[in-house]
Chains A and B, each alone.
Chain A
């Protein structure tokens, strides 16, 4: 069973479109995250939700809107996609602060904006 699953794995879309990436975890964790990995492999946190409440919202364009319908799901919706949004987006989950077991990551969604 996949612990943190993201869909789709690959997404190619045109500039200006609106797209969503879905994330689901079956670990019973109470905290979920979205990270962006740029072309230089640098990982940066975007959002964090704890029990469906937004607790981290780093400096991200407001075209990016996370939605957490329940604590097992955290979706990322992106409006008016731009070329610079091309990256790999990782969903992750943890129980509380993460502690000894770190975070569990999804396999990533490679977004290409053309």
Chain B
């Protein structure tokens, strides 16, 4: 069975500092995808970044980067230069078998001014 784990239910970071949100997964599949989504208090789900299991380079999108360590089965999200607007829930998600898509339990990030 596939499993995805986010061990940090809540985190605080000072504005302008970097923060790492942890995500680990458990699978025997070789081909899969990893995603991060942001859910602000308004409730919508916003796609942030994607990493394929065969991608050799870590994915980056602006201030977001994914620290992908395949051997350790971890896909941590790094947010550089945190902004107040980054305060939200963050979900790691695991995709396998093309349409089996599972979410972690989420991490609530609070950015302090």
Is the pairing of A and B real?
Answer: yes
A residues bordering B, Cβ < 8 Å?
Answer: 31, 33, 35, 40-45, 48, 50, 55-56, 88, 90, 92, 96-105, 107-108, 110
Chain A contact residues: over half helix, strand or loop, or mixed? strand
The answer to whether A90 and B99 touch (CB under 8 A), given A40-B105, A41-B89, A101-B50, is no
Listed A/B pairs (17) with beta-carbon separation below 8 Å? A31-B99, A33-B101, A41-B106, A42-B103, A43-B103, A45-B101, A45-B102, A48-B101, A92-B45, A97-B98, A98-B50, A99-B50, A102-B47, A103-B35, A103-B101, A105-B47, A110-B43
Count residues of chain B with CB under 8 A from any CB of chain A: 23
For residue B102, which residue of chain A has the nearest CB?
A45
Measured in the bound complex, the distance between the Cα atoms of B33 and A100 in whole Å is: 9
Residue of B nearest to A105 (CB): B45
- Cβ of B93: which chain A residues have Cβ within 8 Å of it? 43
The 3 closest A-B pairs by CB, nearest first: A105-B45, A43-B103, A102-B47
Query: Is there an interface contact between B99 and A101, defined as CB atoms closer than 8 Å?
Result: no
Most buried by A among B39, B99, B100, B102: B99
Digitize B40-80: 1 where CB-to-A-CB distance is under 8 Å, 0 elsewhere: 00011111001010000000000000000000000000000
* Majority secondary structure, B binding face: strand
Whole-angstrom distance between the Cβ of B96 and the nearest chain A Cβ: 9
B37 at the interface (CB under 8 A from A): yes
How many Å lie between the Cα of A105 and that of B101 in the bound state? Answer: 13
Contacts of A103 in B (CB 8 A): 35, 47, 101
- Cα A88 to Cα B43 with chains together (Å): 9
Q: Give the residue among B43, B46, B52 with the most A Cβ atoms within 10 A.
A: B43
Q: How far is the CA of A103 from the CA of B33 in the complex (A)?
A: 12
Known: A40-B105, A102-B50. A108 touches B44 (CB 8 A): yes
- Expressed in whole angstroms, the Cα–Cα distance for A99 and B31 within the complex equals 12
With both beta carbons as reference points, the residue of chain A lying nearest to B36 in the complex is identified as A102
A40–chain B nearest beta-carbon distance, Å: 7
Closest to A40 in B: B105
